Structure 1
Amino acid sequence: MATRTRSKSSNDTRTGDRSGGNGGRRSAFGWGGQTGVIAAAAMAGAAVGIAANLGRKFVVQGIGASAGDWSEALAAEHQLVLALFDKLGATSDEQTWMRAHLLTKIKNALGKHALEEENVLYPVLRRANAAHDADALNGEHGYVKTYLYELETTAKDDPGWLAKARELRAMLEEHMRMEEDEVFPALRAGLSEEQNAELSRAINREGLKLA
């Protein structure tokens, strides 16, 4: 930032400026008494930025958390992802920007969802003597990430791009069906009301990390 150097007159040397701090001298940047206003504005701006970020997190996380307990929250996130895939499936080869945009939203949603399941849900499954289910579902997450990488690194107007996206949707739908119809109900039934409530809180906390 360019600054203007103000030459001091003999009067300035004798009397100084007692309107501010710093030994009664004016700021070399010529801000004078506005320094406090600028500092206050900067602090207010930072506070607004922090509040906006927290607000965004709670809005995003609220998509799942508002659904109720952990199983309903995760099922709501499933539906959100499938809806994004439906929008993606309606694009043409010329809509490369839209495909890239929707793919980014899908990756973000699946990243948050995977964090909740891999760091909270699947460990609880293993502890509940359902390690086979936990390991199988976790392994499928690896294939999902491979598909996402291939879609990310392939030209969005490639003739086979949309077909691969549809393959991933079909795989995810089967993965989600197994969770919602078999794994979630069995785990929920085996936990007490208090344990289910704590699992809901733990998944919500984990989701906030990437919301």
Structure 2
Amino acid sequence: MVTTLDDTKRTAIAKKLADMKEIQKLIINNEQQFLKEISDNEIRNRIQKMLDDDNKNMGILETVNVQYGIQAEPDKTISEMVKKVQQLMQGSELNTYEKVFQHELLKHQQVMSGLTVHKAAQKVGADVMMAIGPLNTVNFENRAHQEQLKGILEVLGVRELTGQEADQGIWGRVQDAMAALSGVFGSAVTQTSDKSDMNVQDVIRLDHNKVNTLFTELLASNDPQKIQEYFGQIYKDLTAHAEAEEEVVYPRVRPFYGEGDTQELYDEQAEMKRMLEEIKANDPSSSQFKDKVRQLMDAVGDHIRQEESTMFAAIRNNLSSDQSEQLATQFKAAKQKIQERLGKQGAASK
């Protein structure tokens, strides 16, 4: 039986990521609702930009969940809270100011959840840090949204209390605060816009980086239990990655990448799967175990170099940005289904 790294700490992080996805859906619904209810053009424009960011950030959260490799359901209390907030947002019990106030609290919750996941990942393992890396963009943008929401709340609050317009200097302070945030977090947080909509090359490269990190961690360890756990994660990640590529990516690239080169990728992954099964049958404390892992790492490395050079170039030359992003979405969806299947198989074997 393959032992994976799905221990208590990693499962807890997976649940927190699932919670963040659930909250993100609520945030998007709220902002869509605000656009229907608010007539102020300045506020509408700012909320529309937040909504654009949040739709992209939902894609990032989905990528992180699949890249992390452990599928979990959101906590029951989170799901119940989301239902209650949805009812309040769609009802007439709260005025616009109160609804936006509740929304700012949700943004704060997302910020703290994202930062907590980031800090927890530092304690759990380098491969976890690699998997949740794109989450940094979501953390930064949620913090920036908080500053904008504070400005919106001041404008709405002054109108609510006095019936008059607030000092327009509010928006200047908001921009200054956002600029200060950018200065504080800019060096530590990925803010590149091209990572908002990941293409299939981005997503595959994330998988490659993560498995290379796992190989490094395994080979550096002398603890047979940790070695077995690291191999278990490699086994699961490579299996899901390979099956998703064979289901979605390779059939799509075959017409322009070529029959021979595409078949070579299939053949390399068949050999990789054979090696995984061979290593799985070995005792991780044996002297041969790491030797066989090194052989696997070399084979995976050759496969990665082919994909990231010639296959990626073929994709760039033959698929539009939208087509490559759509292929990434299909790859992630296939991979998530495979992960769920592997998770059920693992649970059934325990």
Give the TM-score normalised by the residue count of structure 1: 0.68
- How far apart are residue 60 of structure 1 and its match? 3.0
Secondary structure at 1:160 match in 2? helix
In structure 2, distance between residues paired with 1:114 and 1:157: 27
Judge conservation of contact 2:257–2:311 (CA < 8 Å) in 1: no
Q: Could you list the runs of 5+ residues in structure 1 that have no partner in the other structure?
A: 1-50
Name the counterpart of 1:61: 66
Name the counterpart of 1:82: 212
* More helix per residue: 2
- How far apart are residue 187 of structure 1 and its match? 2.0
Name the counterpart of 1:72: 202
Q: Which amino acid aligns with 1:179?
A: E
Q: Aligned match of 1:194 in 299, 322, 328?
A: 322
> Aligned in 2, Cα 1:65/1:202: closer, same or farther, shift over 3 Å?
farther
- How far apart are residue 54 of structure 1 and its match? 8.5
Judge conservation of contact 2:244–2:335 (CA < 8 Å) in 1: yes
- How far apart are residue 188 of structure 1 and its match? 2.3
Q: Deviations over 1:48-82 (max 9, x none)?
A: xxx94982894431549955211011011101001
Provide the alpha-carbon RMSD of the alignment: 2.5
In structure 1, distance between residues paired with 2:308 and 2:133: 16
Secondary structure at 2:287 match in 1? coil
Q: Deviations over 1:20-68 (max 9, x none)?
A: xxxxxxxxxxxxxxxxxxxxxxxxxxxxxxx949828944315499552
Q: Which amino acid aligns with 2:290?
A: L
Name the counterpart of 1:179: 307
Judge conservation of contact 1:64–1:76 (CA < 8 Å) in 2: no
Matched pairs, number: 159
**More deviation in 137-146 or 186-195?**
186-195
Bigger relative contact order, structure 1 or 2 (CA pairs below 8 A, ≥6 apart): 1
Judge conservation of contact 1:126–1:134 (CA < 8 Å) in 2: yes
- How far apart are residue 129 of structure 1 and its match? 5.2
Describe how 1:54-133 pairs up with structure 2 within 5 A.
Answer: 55=18, 58=62, 59-62=64-67, 63=131, 66=134, 68-92=198-222, 95-128=223-256, 130-133=258-261
> Aligned in 2, Cα 1:65/1:116: closer, same or farther, shift over 3 Å?
farther
**More deviation in 64-73 or 135-144?**
64-73
- How far apart are residue 127 of structure 1 and its match? 2.9
Judge conservation of contact 2:256–2:314 (CA < 8 Å) in 1: no
Identity of aligned residues (%): 25
Judge conservation of contact 2:200–2:331 (CA < 8 Å) in 1: yes
Q: Deviations over 1:179-198 (max 9, x none)?
A: 00111111221112332222
Judge conservation of contact 2:249–2:331 (CA < 8 Å) in 1: yes
- How far apart are residue 122 of structure 1 and its match? 0.5
Q: Deviations over 1:59-106 (max 9, x none)?
A: 4315499552110110111010010000111122xx221111111110
Q: Aligned match of 1:142 in 252, 256, 270?
A: 270
In structure 2, distance between residues paired with 1:132 and 1:54: 40
In structure 2, distance between residues paired with 1:154 and 1:138: 25
Q: Which amino acid aligns with 2:301?
A: E
In structure 1, distance between residues paired with 2:282 and 2:202: 34
